[in-house]
Amino acid sequence: MEKKLASGQLKLATLDSQGLTQHAPFGTGKDAVLKALEHLGYIQIDTLSMVERAHHHTLWTRIPDFHADYLEELVEERKVFEYWFHAASYLPMQDFRYVLPQMLMIKRGESRYYNADHRVMEYVRDTIRNEGPKRARDFENESHKTGSWWNWKPAKLALERLFMQGDLMISGRVGMQKTYDLTERVLPSSIDTTEPTPLEFAEYLVKTNLRAYGFTTLKQITHLRKGNDVKKDVNKVLQTMLEEGLISQVKTEGLSSVFMLNHVLEKTFDPGNSNIWLLSPFDNAIIHRDRIKQIFDFDFRLECYTPKEKRQYGYFCLPILFGDQFIGRVDCKAHRKEKKLELIHLHIENNTVDIGLWLKPFVETVKRFAVFNGCESLALTKVSPPKLSTSVKKELSKAKFKK
């Protein structure tokens, strides 16, 4: 029997599961970074740097005292590793066995991606075994030596293939430059390396989604995962959890039914939450665009890959979440040399929310975000609708930074 739930409760339930209803939901410091990763399942890595990169931004949103060193230290301590989730991601080391199906598929040559010259792969692997961890640029230097029979590009492809098939792991980074080492020298001996059965893998996907989002659908769980077999296995796990009374099938007005953890369904949420969050476009909470459109009626698209003349909002907009509503987005850029965070264009789209409620917390959050980006001043270029411009500029002018 389906249960019914108000759409507002569904919003609060998923925001709470994402760590977006309270201050420091995972605690503080390095331990909080690991807790957040283990709860969310992954954090997407992205190289775009208009503002602080996505993986750092997503963690900072939930961990007020987050520092990039925390993540790097967790990699060095072998508690976190990098691999491909739906994109390049950091994952908790405890979940390593669940990337094995993809690694082994690539190793068996069942993927048309990651082709590489096997002679170069052998050379790269032997070099790392004999000389220690290497970056791609190390092989670039090698390829310029007299008598080299290969150039840098095949070596880079070989590194990527060896990484994707599990022979190499990323042991650390210098900025965005990855350092590779043999998996046997990186992976802790305590980690289970038994390949999960298809049903075990489906159970991992289901439980990860439910834990991170509070509710889920078959479509969301199998997003970007090809094949009917995984859908059948996921559906089987969901039906078993329903029979065991761990989850319920819930209906909300205007939406198809969702599967929801019973303890989340029974939880009481405070509708008076007035927190403001500036989310990364790659934040776990926003990454499923169709889901956000359905649940929050917020149509978000990242436009940095869209030709300039076709952009509606801007190159790198950050969604603005106020309580349980997305009230708009702001196109930002951190001018690091000038130590200035520019709000290129602030778009406020939900005009039903009184500016007196969101403006001060918005400015406070923007100020914190500026400091996180190494900036000491704010600049506002444009506001939509224009009638809000004077009020926003006046409030921003009050923001003071410690010298």
Q: Dump pLDDT digits (tens) for 183-216.
A: 999 999 999 999 999 999 999 999 999 999 999 9
Q: How many CB atoms lie within 10 A of CB 369?
A: 24
Q: Please tell me the pTM assigned to this model.
A: 0.93
Please tell me the distance from the alpha carbon of residue 61 to that of residue 16, in angstroms, as a whole number: 13
**319: pLDDT confidence band, cut at 50, 70 and 90?**
very high
Smallest Cα–Cα separation from 205: which of 233, 229, 246? 233
Q: Is 228 exposed, middle or buried (0-12, 13-18, 19+ CB in 10 A)?
A: exposed
3-class SS of residue 325: strand
Q: Give the number of residues written for the chain.
A: 403
Q: Tell me if 215 sits within 8 A of 9, measured CB to CB.
A: no
Contact 18, 11 (CB under 8 A): no
Nearest Cα to Cα of residue 211 among 5, 6, 19, 1 = 19
Give the strand order in the sheet containing 80-84.
Answer: 43-44, 88-92, 80-84
H or E element in which residue 364 lies: helix 355-372
Specify whether the CB–CB gap between 329 and 289 falls below 8 A: no
Structure tokens at 129: 């075994």
The first and second tokens of residue 72, run together, are 């790097």
Distances (CA, A) of 291 to 46, 150, 335: 21, 46, 33
Helix, coil or strand: residue 104: helix
Q: Which two tokens stand for residue 329?
A: 């987005």
**Predicted pLDDT of residue 223:** 78
pLDDT in tens, 63-105: 999 999 999 999 999 999 999 988 999 999 999 999 999 999 9
Query: What sections of 18-99 are H helices per DSSP?
Result: 29-40, 54-62, 68-76
pLDDT at 228 exceeding the cut of 80: no
- pLDDT 10s digits, 279-289: 999 999 999 99
Please determine, for residue 373, whether its predicted confidence score (pLDDT) is greater than 80: yes
Q: What are phi and psi of 24, to 5 degrees?
A: 50, 55
Distances (CA, A) of 131 to 164, 178, 182: 21, 16, 11
